[in-house]
Each structure stands twice: as structure tokens, then as C-alpha cells.
Structure 1
Amino acid sequence: MLKLRNLIASLTIGYFTFRGVTAQLNVRIPLNKEFDNFATETLDNWKVPGLSIAVDRWQRSLRKGKWLRDVLKELIWVPLDMDSTLFDLQDASHAPNQLASGYYWDIKEGKYGEAPFINVTELSGAGAIFSNVLDFAKWVKCLLHEAAPFFKEVHRDIKSSRMIEPTQLDEPSDMVTYGLGWHHSLFKGHAIYTHSGGVHTYGAQVYWLPSIRYGVVAFANTALTSNAVEEILACNLMQDRLKIPENERSDVKSKSDTPSTVLRNIY
């Protein structure tokens, strides 16, 4: 299994825990109308307060009397038979499936080194999730077919845009918008939803195109470099599926030394 970190939870939180950070503050963080206005204003301006969102997830879990892991399991994982999807390192370490090790390039030794596992529960909501491509493909299939356990209205809301992202003109996509964890743009004339993630030695890329009911899920166990390779692979697979002529294809590989908008948003 590979670790998938939610993009939102990582924008400002990094490897600091929100409990540790807020414990050093001399002020309380009230979940009131003022906080909601602040969150709405910053989200509308593409200044996502990752730390605030993490705190919000934690507080809402306490209010509902259920741990977020149990909510996700009840609403999504069990209905979709995502048996290899777990919430934290402890659960993943005791799971039947082997937890994939992460690797980094050791410049001095000239070889890859194995990185230790880290506790990522503090990166919730979805930042604490451990999963694999088979389970995540079930989630993408649910989104593509607007299937249960969600009503059609919920699926429409998932695909609705909330804000406009800054983009580069030389990228192979149209204007990019964002909403509920998904980047929304056009890929070769087709609506596409994407999301990427990564922690110290893991990377993930997820793409789905509703109009052709096609999706790509890629996980790997190095940091950032794996995302670049996954992006190249996914782009080629999607263009193959769309039967894009060779002379009209987006050459993502030639731009792999300059991360795309999605990759820049990871770190």
C-alpha cells in the first residue's frame, strides 16, 4: 500500500502538526461565523488555509462524536469495498497487505535509501489515508458513473467549481478551477478532474474524465519525482484512450524538469 496525502492539508501545514502548532498559541480558534467568513474569503482567492482546514476537520469530528476515520469508512470505504484503505500508520502497519516502503536518493552513497515510516494522522482529513491503486480506482469509478453511495446531487456538487486557480499559458490545459478537492480543467476538449499528493517519500496522481468514463490512478514510492513520472504515464494513457494523433499530443515528458501546476501545488 502507498501513502496518499491530501493536497489541501499540505499547503501550509507541512510536517508540523496542527495540534502541536495550536498548542503554542495564546489564542483560541473559534469555529464561528467569523471563521467561516475567513475561510470563504481565503478559499475564493486561492489562499487555502491548510492549517485552518486541518483544525476544522478535527473540531468537526469532535462535534459529531465520531472519529473521521469511522466517518470515511462508514460513508465511502465500506460501501465501495475499499478493504485496503486505512486511516493512519498504526492501522496500515497491522493490515494484511504489506505497506510499501518509501525511498530517497542518497547523493553521497549514489544509491536509493529506504525511508522510515512516519505518523501522518495529523494531516487529516484525507491526508492520513493509506490506500492502493485498486481501492482508489473503485472511488474514481464511483465518481465517473455517479454511483452509490452518493445521490446525483452530491456528485454534481463534487464536480462544481468553487474558485479559479492561477495557471501558466504554456500548459496543456484550459483555465483551471477548484472545488471540493478536485482541480477541474479541459484536456483535449474533455472535462478532466485531477488531484495529486505526496509526502516525504510517496507520490500519487489521480485523473478522471466523466465524458468518456475513463480514469487513471497512479501511486509510487518516491517524493515528487514519482509524481512527474506518473503525470507522463497518465497523460499518455489518456491520449491513447482519446486516440489523439501523434502530432497533436501534449509532450509532458519534455516539460518534466518544470513541474506542472498540479505538481507545484503539492509542495
Structure 2
Amino acid sequence: MLVLAILLGIAQLSWQFDPRQLLFTDASEASSTSPFDKGFDSLVEDTLAEWQTPGLAVAIVHGDDTWAKGYGYASLNGSRVTPHTLFNTGSTTKSFIASLVSILVDSNTTYKDITWNTPFSSLIRDDFVLPDAWATEHITLADALSHRTGMPRHDFSWLNAGPNVTVKDITRSMRYLPLHHEPRVEWEYCNIMFSAVSYALETVTGESTGDLLRDWLWRPMGMNQTFYDWSVAQACVRKDKDCELATPYIWNNHTQDYVPEAIATFPPATGAGGTISNVLDYTRWLRRLINGTAPLSPEGYRAITSPHSVMFAELPPYTGPVWYGYGLIMGIYRGLKVIQHSGSIGGYTSNMLVIPDKNWGVVTMQNTDSPAQSILWLKLMDDMLEVPKEERFDLDTLMREQRAGSAAAREARRHALYPDLPSIPIPPVLPLTRYEGNYSHPAYHNITILLNAPSHGAVVTPDGNSGLPLYGTSPTADLDTVVKLTHASGEHWIVDAYMGAWTRDYSDMMSRAQFEVAACGVAEMLGMQIEPEIEEYLWFV
């Protein structure tokens, strides 16, 4: 399901609300040839309502034509989505970072010694250090851009670092983070490696990533409402009436209401994400991904859209393997090559997709995590291809089945973490108050364990205080990161970690944890299985 989520731009699923009367608005100029007809408008209305999605913007390019439209609310204070509404576009940023590298590689003069296969060790040697010596010396720009370094996500390391974290800080933290695979063995999505690429770009050029994106890519393409810094985006809002930031929301299933994310606490741009833009600006990028035209060179376009890592041997709705290029995902749909990438962070979700052979592309942006945008762009793609109804990929039903089975899936996951628990759990050695305190890790930073649930936007789920819960928070964390520890047996606990307001009945990560209690009766270390696929615990002292 992880790979499907990356493909379809689904971060997490929210449900059980029908604000139908609130959500729908036409924010574009219609035309007789527009794909946004009354039937599609009605589908949008129903889809946003079913999946608790306040607002969505969509744009299509087909040949020389461009259509864009906004639906619903950019902010629940009443402002509506238009094609100019700004969203954080998350990991779609990766295609821009890869394109910067392509321009660097294209240079025959200033950066003539840099190729896709240049190792980080020759660019940022003192800062790029991994737990494995061979990986440190040999991992290249190409490895990082195609997610084949062996490093897993480790997202909580940079999300918990605070608002002043830099790409240099993120890069230097990797020496404390375990690899999951040998390099070049498996595709494994890793945001922090794109931070290393960003830092290498800054080191080599002497310019910030934001300036490089603006001067090398966005301005040449006329993407004048695309930004890499919240303050610059907010300046646009103040001076341009068409420039408005959508508010990101997370649906609270218990109170049946939305919780807004605080944009001010969002992580800084990290190379893996950080772009702020609108669907109209992104149509300019879609055309480059269709045609491979400037500022991309033919060689650079071929490089970023060629297969470098196999993501999955087979994954519907695609036929056959799905592969990763450099900052882009590709597959075959009904005999046609599709190029795409999604993005998601803290309530913002986006997806861009092109079919070069049809000279067609679509981009969607919305202000909550839900399948709504994916249901809609799949519909638009199938309409363009005139796919018979009975042959279409039924994402609606798949998502409803996932929703219906979510509680059972979570319970199965919990059982899998500790399949051999005693029928009567062994109580913790210490009173719960003795586990409270501050714990730290050199890469994952600080976490404060508390007996009482944090009050900042928190909701105690219906289990109340059952399971002897403890709560972990951080004063520097972005996106209101919260860790809930539910007692399993003895010093063993179940971790539910939330990135963003923890008001959902599902977590972003579920894994194991263990306290180390000294002979003197002090809880001196907390070990957490931060990456669920890695058995190794990371120890907070």
C-alpha cells in the first residue's frame, strides 16, 4: 500500500463526514471544450464530500490547450479555491532538484567534472558520512536521486529537528542513522538523501537551492507564482489579490471536524520538498515533462525520465513494472508511458502526471490527505483515453475497502509486533511517573515523555487511559509530532507516531519500543524501532 500511496498521492485516509453543502464552488472560466463539464463538477462535489476534502484545484494541458479550475474552500473561513491558490506541493519538488543536477551535468565548463555518477564523497566529504564506509565512499548523486542508497526514510529525524534545520544539518545527521539495505540492491524511498543532493548543489555552486530553482528553472519557465520559502509566498499573498495560500487541514474523526495545520511550524525546504505553487504554474512544468524542452536539455530529460530503479514488479493500475527515474515515477498504462510524482505533507497533497505520447497532462492540489484527488485525476485520464467504464481501475471501491478494514488492519499490525505476549501482561517495573523525562538521540533529537496527553490539538481516543499510555512530544518538532506509547508487557511498548495533528484514529507509524531501567530504578534509555522495516532500535538517552 505504501507504493500505491506514493503513486496516487495518498498520504493517509480520512472519513465519516458529509459536508456536501459546504464544499463545492466553480472557480474557473468554463468553455465548450473544457473537460470540466457538469458531470465532472458533480463528481468532484460528491468526492470531496465523501472524503472530507475542503478544497481542490486541478489543471489539464492537452496539446496547446490549458484548462484550470478550483473547487471548494482554500480556507474554511470562506475563501474559495481558484487556479491561483497556493499549496505546498511536497515531493513533486524532487523532479526540480533532479533537473538542477541535470543542468549541472550538462555544463561543459564551470562544472565539467560533475556527472550523475559523481560520489558525494568528492563533493561534501566531511559532511556526508554513513554508518557503512563503502557506502560513504561510493554512493552517487544518481543513487540518491533514484532512491537506491539503502537508506530508509528516517523522516522523524528531520521533522523533529526544529524550524532552523538546514540541509547541511540533515546531511550530517545520517552518520547516526542505520541503513536498511546494501547500496543499489533495493529501491527504498528516502527524503533525506534529496537533502544531501540539495546541500551538494549549494556547496558546488555557492548559491542557495531556492535561488537555483528560481533562476535556473522557474523564471525561465514563467513560473512566477512558485516559491521555495514560506515568507516569500506570504509576501505574494500580501501584494497580489490572485495569490492566496490554502490552509491545510486534518480531519478529526472523533469530533467530526477539521483541525487546521499551523503553516508557521512547517519544516523548512529540505530538497525533498518545500515547493509552494499553484496548478496554473505547474502546467508550465507539465509541458516540459511532456516535450523535454528548455530549461531541460534533451540529454537531461532522457536522464530524469529513464528507469534507474525498479519500484515494484507489478502494481495496478499500471501494467508490468513501475520504475523510478531521477525524482520521477514511471509506468505503463494501457500501453502508454506515464510520468508522474505525488507530494504530501501536513495536510497538503498533490500529484502531477503526463502522458507524452498523448501530449496530455494533469496536476491536482488539495488541502487535506485523502484519495479525492487521485479518484479525480484517474477519471480525467480515463476520459481522455476513452477507456470503457467496465475496464477502469476502481480506486473508489479500493479506498472504501481500505477504510472499512482499517481498524482490523491496525489490530493485526499490533498483534504482529508482539505475537507472543502473555495472557496477563507483566506490569512495568516502575510507576509510570518514573518514565517521564527528556530523552535525546544525535539524529532524532529530543523527545519528552509525559504521563498526561499533550493538549496542543490532541484528542484522547475512545480507549481513554487504557493500556497505560505515555506520550512523547518535542518542543522543536515540526507538524505537531506526537508519539503515543501503549504498554504491551514488562518494559515493552507499542509506538504510535503521528506527524501532524494527532486527531486521527490511525497513526503514521506503528512499531515497538522498550525502556532500559538501571539497577538503581531509573529509566535511563528509551529504544524505539523508528523504521518499522528495521528490527534495530534507536536509543534515546
TM-score (norm 2): 0.42
Alignment partner, residue 111 of structure 1: 257
Three-state SS of the structure 1 residue aligned to 2:155 is coil
Task: Choose the corresponding residue for 1:65, options 206, 220, 241.
Answer: 206
Residue 16 (1) aligns with residue 16 (2): no
For 1:159, which of 305, 324, 327 is the aligned residue?
305
In terms of fraction of residues, the more helix-rich structure is: 1
The superposition leaves residues 60-104 of structure 1 with CA deviations (integer Å, 9 ceiling, x where unpaired) of 313311000111111110011101100021111111311111112
Alignment partner of 2:398 out of 231, 242, 255? 255
Taking structure 1 as reference, are residues 24 and 54 closer, same or farther at Cα in structure 2, changes over 3 Å only?
closer
Larger Rg: 2
CA distance in 2, matches of 1:26, 1:197: 25
Give the 3-state SS of the residue equivalent to 2:90 in structure 1: coil
CA distance in 1, matches of 2:202, 2:231: 19
> Are residue 237 (structure 1) and residue 380 (structure 2) matched?
yes
Q: Equivalent residue of 2:273, what SS?
A: helix
CA distance in 1, matches of 2:323, 2:302: 15
Amino acid at match of 2:160: F
Identify if the C-alpha distance between structure 1 residues 111 and 70 changes in structure 2 by more than 3 Å, giving closer, same or farther. same
Query: What displacement does 1:4 show?
Result: 1.1
Q: CA offsets per residue over residues 177-210 of structure 1, 9 Å max, x none?
A: 0011111111111110121111111100111111
Q: What is the CA RMSD across the aligned residues, in angstroms?
A: 3.2
Q: Which amino acid aligns with 1:248?
A: E
Q: Distance in 1 between matches of 2:345 and 2:274?
A: 11
SS in 2 for 1:192: strand
Distance 1:107 1:213, change over 3 A: same
SS class of match (1:148): coil
Cα distance in 2 for residues equivalent to 1:41 and 1:180: 19
1:6 partnered with 2:91 = yes
Match of 1:101 in 2: 247
Greater relative contact order structure (CA < 8 Å, 6+ sep): 1
* TM norm structure 1: 0.81
Equivalent-residue separation in structure 2 for 1:176 and 1:48 (angstroms)? 14
Which residue among 360, 379, 382 is the counterpart of 1:214?
A: 360
**2-side partners of 1:182 and 1:86: how far apart?**
20
* Residue matched to 1:172: 317
Give the 3-state SS of the residue equivalent to 1:193 in structure 2: strand
Q: Distance in 2 between matches of 1:145 and 1:25?
A: 34
From the superposition, tell whether residues 17 and 5 of structure 1 become closer, same or farther in structure 2 (CA, over 3 Å): farther
Q: In structure 1, how many angstroms separate the alpha carbons of the residues matched to 2:384 and 2:359?
A: 11
In structure 1, runs of 5+ residues without a counterpart are: 30-37, 260-265
Post-superposition offset of 1:2: 0.3
Query: Of the candidates 277, 280, 283, which is equivalent to residue 131 of structure 1?
Result: 277
Structure 2 counterpart of 1:56: 197
Instruction: Check if 1:246 corresponds to 2:389.
Output: yes
Equivalences for residues 188-203 of structure 1 within 5 A? 188-203=334-349
Aligned residues with identical type, % of pairs: 24
Unaligned runs of 5+ in 2: 1-85, 95-144, 146-151, 404-507, 510-541
Q: Is the 8 A contact 1:84 1:131 kept in 2?
A: yes
**CA separation in 2, counterparts of 1:78 and 1:234?**
27
Residue type of the alignment partner of 1:16: N
Residues 119, 62 of structure 1: CA spacing in aligned structure 2 closer, same or farther, 3 A cutoff?
A: farther
Residues 5 and 123 of structure 1 are in contact (CA less than 8 Å); yes or no, is this contact kept in structure 2? no
- Change in 2 beyond 3 A, CA 1:25/1:158: closer
The residue matched to 1:109 in structure 2 has which SS? coil
